[in-house]
Amino acid sequence: DAKTTQPNSMESNEEEPVHLPCNHSTISGTDYIHWYRQLPSQGPEYVIHGLTSNVNNRMASLAIAEDRKSSTLILHRATLRDAAVYYCILRDRVQGAQKLVFGQGTRLTINP
Amino acid sequence: DGGITQSPKYLFRKEGQNVTLSCEQNLNHDAMYWYRQDPGQGLRLIYYSQIVNDFQKGDIAEGYSVSREKKESFPLTVTSAQKNPTAFYLCASSHREGNSPLHFGNGTRLTVT
């Protein structure tokens, strides 16, 4: 199973950009990179995903390294509501349902 | 509205009893998953299914059982053989393609005393 590595915690200030890193050195050519976030006592929610190119949506941006061994989730202007645990996972493009492994994630704290 | 529903939100059981957690989705997703989360920890995969009448063990399947008789439903039974059943249980579903996001339910918090 392809693994991802994230820092246990990060802290930022409200209205500042946040860059959340994820290492996935064993990524295969058919793996999509997915990001989810989880608020306390709730199920995770989808944030963004990408394959090779950088991606933007209304929630965040995803920057993918050229060798695809790492990626960064970018929150352009953090709010208190962005305080959550963020998970980066890999999902194979062709294998259908598979063992999707979530690590410990990064606990993001936003200071007012 | 389409979505994935877990019930109940809170469940209390005595040790030695089996208990079944419900997970229903109306998103027409083929794939469904069960995860367990302990306080301050990440998600650990219990079972997953990519199609009706088929399911596979995840990393911590011991003491759990599932069934997938209908596309919409993927119930999880926590048996008395599970040594530490108290946890937060999360169900998810998705299309099978790798670019398909997972949709999670809001979880069931099981307490066994």
Q: Which of B44, B90, B101 sits opposite A43 (nearest CB)?
A: B90
Chain B residues with CB-CB distance to A49 below 8 A: 99, 101
pLDDT digits (tens, 9 = 90+) for A68-111: 999 999 999 999 999 999 999 999 877 666 778 888 899 999 99
Cβ contacts of B39 within 8 Å, gap of 6 or more: none
Encoded tokens for A106: 């990064």
Can you tell me which residue has the tokens 């997972």?
B102
Chain B residue at shortest CA distance from A107: B40
Chain B residue at shortest CA distance from A30: B98
Instruction: Tell me what percent of the residues of chain B surpass a pLDDT of 70.
Output: 99
**What is the residue-wise DSSP string for A11-73?**
EEETTS-EEEEEE-TT--TTEEEEEEEE-TTS--EEEEEESSS-EE-SS-EEEE-TTSSEEEE
pLDDT value at residue A2? 57
Check residues A100 and B18 and name the one with the higher pLDDT. B18
How many of the other CB atoms lie within 10 Å of CB of B54? 11
How many of the other CB atoms lie within 10 Å of CB of A67? 8
Distance CA A83, CA A71 (A): 20
What's at A86, amino acid-wise? Y
Chain B residues with CB-CB distance to A97 below 8 A: 30-33, 48-51, 94, 96
Chain A residues with CB-CB distance to B99 below 8 A: 32, 49, 51, 91, 93
pLDDT value at residue B95? 92
Pairing of strands B103-104, A84-92: unpaired
pLDDT value at residue A92? 86
Mean pLDDT for all residues in chain B: 94
pLDDT value at residue A103? 84
- Interchain proximity A97–B30, CB inside 8 Å: yes
